[in-house]
Amino acid sequence: MVLKMDHLNIVVSNLEEATRFFRLLGFTEGIAAELDAAFLGRVTGIEGARGRFCALHHPGSDLSVELLEFAGGPAAEQGLGEANRIGLRHLAFAVEDIDAEVARLARHGVGFLSPVQTWEKTGKRLVYFRGPDGILLELAQYPKEPERV
């Protein structure tokens, strides 16, 4: 039986750059290590691949993000950063004040795919943006529940 989701792995081309970007989103670094070819080959089936990874944790979630940079072995094709491709599409982050967060990230050079949008059906406000290597990300602000009288 599955107990819970443990982590999300993202393959990146530059581990340091990607780690800096996720720290900008409030993540802290956990374990980081070099992965030798024998181990990585057994786990992934990619013979001769070596890699480095860094586990990142966010205080608001039990799910960790593992960034993995491969070295050696065949390079895989990019292409998971488009919203209409089949498979895992994006990682979303809930925020309290989406306008303030968009402004803060923009000051750090983050570009957004559109202005903040509001889904009329629920009042949820959201915006997509890209992280390192074109990783598709989302900020989401949910409407506050009205206070009960």
What DSSP string runs through 107-131?
Answer: HTT--BSSS-EE-TTT--EEEEEE-
Work out the end-to-end distance of the chain between its first and last CA atoms, rounded to an integer number of angstroms: 43
The predicted model gives 90-99 an average pLDDT of: 93
What's 47's domain CATH number? 3.10.180.10
Residue type at 30 in one-letter notation = G
Q: Number of folded domains in the chain?
A: 2
**How do residues 48-93 score in pLDDT, each as one tens digit?**
778 899 999 999 898 899 999 988 655 566 555 565 666 677 899 9
Pairing relationship of beta strands 136-141 and 117-118 according to DSSP bridges:
unpaired
| CA trace torsion 8, 13, 17, 23 (10° rounding) | 0
Backbone phi and psi for residue 50, each to the nearest 5 degrees, phi listed first? -120, 165
Decide: residue 42, CB within 10 A, 0-12 exposed, 13-18 middle, 19+ buried.
Answer: exposed
Statement to judge: residues 65 and 21 lie in one domain: yes
For residue 72, give every residue at least 6 positions away whose Cβ sits within 8 Å of its Cβ, in sequence order, or none: 37, 48, 49, 50
Residue-level length of the chain: 149
* pLDDT(148) > 70: no
- pLDDT surpassing 90 at residue 117: yes
Return the percentage of the chain with pLDDT > 90, whole number. Answer: 54
What DSSP designation does 67 have?
A: E
**pLDDT at residue 143 in the model:** 92
Please give the share of the chain, as a percent, with pLDDT higher than 70.
86
Domain match, 63 and 101 both: no
Q: Show the domain range for 136.
A: 91-141
Q: Are residues 16 and 58 in the same domain?
A: yes
Q: Decide if 81 is inside a domain.
A: no
Short-list 94, 103, 106, 105, CA closest to 143: 94
